[in-house]
């Protein structure tokens, strides 16, 4: 029978409350779901009926059972007590509940197993990624019905990054099932860099026994070292896999500039697959540049990697009248919140304006944005406005992330990566 929380056993969450640090004991691992006979805390969802989107923001909360703890699986109910669905709860987060399952049926062990098996099947059976790479995304958060969690596979190692407290608490149980499904041997667990600000908790990364500090993977025959100790996010950007291969077709005998090159993904594929005449990669972080050079040596190719800030580097190249046939611009996320939107748009414009000036006549610019708050339409407008007066550009292709990063039909925000290919006269 559907129940509405009784006022004497519930509380109303104050939306003006500032996030507090989660107690350390709440970071302990827990089972995927409580026993079937254990009643769940209830959380009232106001302002709307069906849970069509996996995020329930704090401003929509009504009465909350007093026993609801951060990270709990809770029953989400409407104002009349009807069950809307079930999700993972965190009162310290702006996204206070992340919906796992809509309707009256609560997620049980079989539900979790089915979700994980479907995600693995997409990558291994439908996309057949094992035939082209040892590095791909196994779990893509909301797009795989598991909001707040991404898991990448690198050979025998799984790396999980958690964006929600509830998923962090269940990550070891999830990884254990994924290891059985994939035959992997090791796991690394991380809290996302913004988890302290968004979820009210932080945690140091840790790995399973004997997990290697680095591993070598291959992508379309090119080898890369992945550093689990100090890499960004899960250690390697699997989402650009198809774009790296597509880039190669423009590079034979050409000069190539890879801006914000990270560990050299585009640069290496331009040289090894594309047979570019000359490749330069620019990256600010010293340790990352060292790993990029290690990757070049691993593949026995010559690439000039430069440690520099890209704005200053591009201006130096312009002063020296240096240009390139192919330029890749793949900056880190420049818009992390709506408060940064205006400044971020200006940065994207300035970067593209400078990068286009470095492209030889008839050359190609691949420009990218991984800011989910900047959609393709707006990014396209920025790119179209960036060429100098009197210079004509032609958009020859648009794209996004590789298909192991699917887009959820109920969560358009999962379409975060935008790529635009521009030929400049």
pLDDT at 15: 37
Rounded to 5°, angle at Cα 100 from 193 and 176 = 65
Q: Is the pLDDT of residue 20 over 60?
A: no
- Tell me, yes or no, whether 125 and 91 share the same domain: no
Residue 150 located in a structural domain:
yes
What's the CA gap between 269 and 222, in Å, rounded? 7
Give the residue-averaged pLDDT of 106-133: 97
Q: Let me know: does 387 contact 424? Beta carbons within 8 Å.
A: yes
Residue 1 located in a structural domain:
no
Name the percent of the chain in helix, strand, coil, to the closest 5.
30, 30, 40
- Tell me, yes or no, whether 317 and 398 share the same domain: yes
Q: What total number of domains does the chain contain? A: 3
- Tell me, yes or no, whether 261 and 294 share the same domain: yes
Q: Is the pLDDT of residue 372 over 60?
A: yes
Of 8-17, 199-208, 318-327, least confident by mean pLDDT is 8-17
- Tell me, yes or no, whether 270 and 190 share the same domain: no
Residue 360 located in a structural domain:
yes
Q: Which residues make Cβ contacts (< 8 Å) with residue 233, sequence separation at least 6? A: 161
Residue 27 located in a structural domain:
yes
Q: Which of 102, 133, 159 is the last residue of a domain?
A: 102
The domain that contains 407 carries what CATH number? 3.40.50.150
Give the residue-averaged pLDDT of 185-210: 90
Of 8-12, 103-107, 115-119, 183-187, least confident by mean pLDDT is 8-12
What's the CA gap between 248 and 269, in Å, rounded? 6
- Tell me, yes or no, whether 289 and 352 share the same domain: yes
What's the CA gap between 60 and 82, in Å, rounded? 16
pLDDT in tens, 99-118: 999 999 999 999 999 999 99
- Cα dist. 412→89, 101, 258, 263, 417 in Å? 22, 18, 29, 29, 12
What's the CA gap between 345 and 379, in Å, rounded? 8
pLDDT at 230: 63
Residue 47 located in a structural domain:
yes
pTM of the model as a whole: 0.90
Residue among 343, 334, 336, 337 nearest 310 (CA): 334
pLDDT at 231: 53
- Tell me, yes or no, whether 222 and 272 share the same domain: yes
The domain that contains 98 carries what CATH number? 2.30.130.10
pLDDT category, 175, cuts 50, 70, 90?
very high
Residue 2 located in a structural domain:
no
Mean pLDDT rounded to a whole number for the chain: 92
- Tell me, yes or no, whether 196 and 256 share the same domain: no
Residue 363 located in a structural domain:
yes
- Tell me, yes or no, whether 149 and 267 share the same domain: no
Q: Residue 330 burial by CB count (10 A; 0-12/13-18/19+): exposed, middle or buried?
A: buried
| Orientation angle between helical segments 341-357 and 310-319, nearest 10 degrees | 30
Q: Which of 42, 76, 102 is the last residue of a domain?
A: 102
- Tell me, yes or no, whether 43 and 176 share the same domain: no
What tokens does 272 get?
A: 């090894």
- Tell me, yes or no, whether 206 and 284 share the same domain: no
Which range of residues forms the domain containing residue 372? Answer: 215-424
pLDDT category, 10, cuts 50, 70, 90?
very low
- Tell me, yes or no, whether 37 and 128 share the same domain: no
The domain that contains 148 carries what CATH number? 3.30.750.80
pLDDT at 346: 97
pLDDT in tens, 290-315: 999 999 999 999 999 999 999 999 99
Q: Let me know: does 253 contact 277? Beta carbons within 8 Å.
A: yes
Compare 124 and 201 and report the one with higher pLDDT: 124
pLDDT category, 156, cuts 50, 70, 90?
very high
Residue 414 located in a structural domain:
yes
- Tell me, yes or no, whether 416 and 279 share the same domain: yes
What's the CA gap between 73 and 86, in Å, rounded? 7
pLDDT at 24: 83
Q: Which of 74, 102, 130 is the last residue of a domain?
A: 102
Rounded to 5°, angle at Cα 138 from 135 and 143 = 130
pLDDT category, 6, cuts 50, 70, 90?
very low
Q: Is the pLDDT of residue 233 over 70?
A: no
pLDDT in tens, 29-80: 999 999 988 999 999 999 766 788 999 999 999 999 999 999 999 999 999 8
156 by DSSP, 3-state: which? coil
What tokens does 218 get?
A: 């291959």
Residue among 268, 270, 317, 318 nearest 294 (CA): 268
């Amino acid at each position: 029978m559907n129940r509405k929380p009784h006022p004497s056993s519930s509380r109303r969450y104050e939306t003006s409350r500032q996030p507090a640090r989660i107690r350390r004991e709440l970071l302990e691992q827990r089972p995927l779901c409580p026993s079937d006979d254990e009643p769940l805390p209830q959380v009232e969802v106001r302002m709307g009926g069906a849970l069509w989107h996996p995020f329930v923001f704090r401003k929509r909360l009504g009465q909350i059972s007093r026993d609801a703890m951060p990270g709990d699986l809770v029953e989400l109910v409407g104002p009349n007590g009807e069950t809307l669905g079930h999700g993972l709860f965190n009162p310290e987060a702006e996204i206070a509940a992340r919906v796992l399952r809509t309707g009256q049926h609560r997620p049980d062990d079989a539900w979790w197993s089915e979700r994980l098996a479907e995600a693995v099947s997409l990558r291994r059976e439908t996309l057949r990624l094992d035939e082209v790479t040892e590095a791909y995304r196994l779990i893509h958060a909301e797009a795989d019905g598991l909001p707040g969690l991404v898991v990448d596979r690198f050979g025998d190692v799984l790396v999980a990054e958690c964006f929600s407290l509830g998923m962090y608490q269940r990550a070891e149980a999830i990884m254990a099932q994924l290891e059985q499904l994939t035959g992997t041997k090791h796991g690394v667990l991380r809290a996302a860099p913004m988890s302290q600000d968004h979820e009210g908790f932080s945690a140091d990364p840790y790995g399973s026994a004997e997990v290697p500090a680095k591993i070598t993977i291959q992508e379309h025959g090119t080898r890369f070292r992945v550093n689990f100790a100090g890499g960004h996010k899960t250690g390697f950007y699997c989402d650009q896999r198809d774009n790296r291969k597509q880039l190669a077709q423009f590079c034979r005998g050409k000069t190539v500039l890879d801006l914000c090159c990270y560990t050299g993904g585009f640069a290496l594929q331009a040289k090894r697959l594309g047979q570019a005449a000359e490749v330069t990669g620019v990256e600010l972080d010293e340790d990352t540049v060292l790993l990029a050079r290690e990757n070049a040596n691993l593949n026995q190719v010559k690439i000039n990697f430069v440690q520099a800030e890209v704005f200053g580097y591009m201006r130096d190249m312009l002063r020296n009248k240096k240009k390139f046939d192919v330029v890749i611009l793949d900056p880190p996320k420049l818009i992390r919140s709506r408060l940064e939107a205006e400044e971020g748009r200006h940065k994207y414009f300035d970067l593209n304006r400078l990068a286009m000036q470095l492209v030889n006549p008839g050359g190609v610019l691949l420009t990218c944005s991984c800011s989910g708050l900047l959609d393709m339409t707006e990014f396209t407008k920025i790119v179209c406005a960036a060429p100098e007066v009197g210079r004509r550009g032609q958009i020859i292709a648009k794209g996004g992330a590789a298909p192991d990063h699917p887009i959820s039909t109920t969560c358009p925000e999962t379409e975060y990566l935008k790529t635009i290919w521009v030929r400049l006269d």
